[in-house]
Amino acid sequence: MNRTIALVAHDNRKKDLIEWVEFNKGTLLRHKLICTGTTGRMVEAALMQNRAKNEPLPEITLLKSGPLGGDQQLGALICEGKVDMLFFLWDPMQPQPHDVDVKALLRISSLYNIPTATNRSTADFIISSPLFEGEYKPQLKNFSDYLGRSIDL
């Protein structure tokens, strides 16, 4: 099954993500990738490096840098059902100028129940799961009660 996978990493975690991408290159090349800013350019370079002639070209959509709206673009794609999973290696020790955007992205990934890895161990578990390549569809909560609620003015 062809999936759309979002890859994001804060500056202090980009090296970890690129090492992970290189290790999982064969698997990732079979899927569509969406990345924010600099992370995307680094992922693209990692997947193109030492590429065998018979390997497919990576299909990568590059969004804006996170602080410039890339996290929000990605959140919108998740809301539209256009992202199947999120690998977001964030740095919990470094303050981020766009911290509210980061929290919003993680909230949206949880709300729409997509598999989300925020560290390398979880990323390893997700990509090595038999469900990764299978026909898995996350259960979506029905928000009709919320949307149809009465609002007192």
Q: Could you confirm whether 101 is annotated as catalytic?
A: no
Report the distance separating Cα 10 and Cα 94, nearest Å: 9
- Set 71, 99, 124, 145: catalytic member: 71
Token pair of 32 as six digits: 């569509």
Interaxial angle between packed helices 99-111 and 70-79, expressed in degrees from 0 to 180 and rounded to the nearest 10: 10
Report the distance separating Cα 66 and Cα 64, nearest Å: 6
What are the strands, taking DSSP E only, across the chain?
4-9, 32-36, 59-63, 85-89, 116-117
Report the distance separating Cα 150 and Cα 141, nearest Å: 19
The catalytic site residues sit at 71
